[in-house]
Amino acid sequence: VRMPNHWISRIVQELDLPIVTTSANRTGKEIMTHVDELDIKLKSKLEFALDDGRIAGHPSTIIDTIQNKRIER
């Protein structure tokens, strides 16, 4: 479960419904920082995308809660 510190989280709370999504970053590739950098194959399958401008930061950390260890990507 991921609840980022982002304006979309407030909308999710108001709707009282989950929004299911996935990362657009591809394993082994540079992280994406703008919607214009979306992979062409992925773009062709999207119904819509939120363009929030250029995003600074880093990808989320994934934790295996069964083995209590960080999963490297």
Q: pTM higher than 0.85, yes or no?
A: no
Residue 29 CB-density burial (10 A; 0-12 exposed, 13-18 middle, 19+ buried): exposed
pLDDT digits (tens, 9 = 90+) for 22-69: 677 777 778 888 888 888 888 898 888 888 888 887 777 778 888 888
What would the two tokens of residue 67 be? 């083995």
pLDDT value at residue 50:
82
Which one, of 24, 37, 33, lies nearest residue 58 by Cα? 33
14 pLDDT band, cuts 50/70/90, is very high
